Amino acid sequence: MSADPIDTLVAATDLDELMAAVEALPVDADTSRIGGVVDAWDDPQGVANVLMYPFVIPPSHRVPAVLRGLRSEGYLRIAASVGVGHLPPADLSDDVRRELLDALLDVVATDAKEAGVRASAEIGPLLHADEVELLDDLAAHPVDVVRHNLRQAALGITDPASQQPVVLPYLPDYAEFVG
């Protein structure tokens, strides 16, 4: 008997294993159990796993879960920052896009480690021209990579031809992060 694909996804303990579990998840999988994992919010590994790939979360739970993760501490904040990159901006209402943008900016402002770096890399696709000034308060961020990523987000609006790739942080596995 083969392992249940949702159990495998929720229980994955390293990022390669998680990616393989996401790729192995059948297109027609009943993800209502993933909604239960999100609702319970008591399995940090499982919640982190689904936050990184929010498209596996039932649509009714998806954005609220990512926002809750961004407003959490520790590894869930990193996982949710990763997950924002898997939410197509064109599929988001303007209110939701702005709420995600504000939450990412809060992560950048309060985290000088992996979550702040990853959040800074995800801002560009959510940023609109009339919001570039929101980045001004973060111009003196203590992390060089964050400042680079924020510049790239602004250049994506003001001078796309000068834009360079964002820099992503090394992402530890959950056990490595908390260990």
Say if 69 falls within a structural domain: yes
On whether residue 19 sits in a domain, the answer given is yes
Is 58 inside any structural domain? Answer: yes
On whether residue 156 sits in a domain, the answer given is yes
pLDDT along the chain (179 residues), means of 10: 84 95 92 95 97 96 98 96 95 97 98 96 97 95 97 96 94 89
Between CA 82 and CA 60 the distance in angstroms is 19
3-state secondary structure 50-109: HHHCHHHCCHHHHHHHHHHHHCCCCHHHHHHHHHHCCCCHHHCCHHHHHHHHHHHHHHHH
Number of compact structural domains in the chain: 1
Residue 168 is predicted with a pLDDT of 93
**pLDDT given at position 2:** 56
Query: Which residue is associated with the tokens 């309060």?
Result: 110
Give the model's pLDDT for residue 179. 77
Q: Is position 68 within any domain?
A: yes
Position 1 scores a pLDDT of 45
> Is 54 part of a structural domain of the chain?
yes
- The answer, as to whether pTM is greater than 0.85, is yes
Domain with 30, as residue range(s), is 5-174
Q: Is residue 179 part of a domain?
A: no
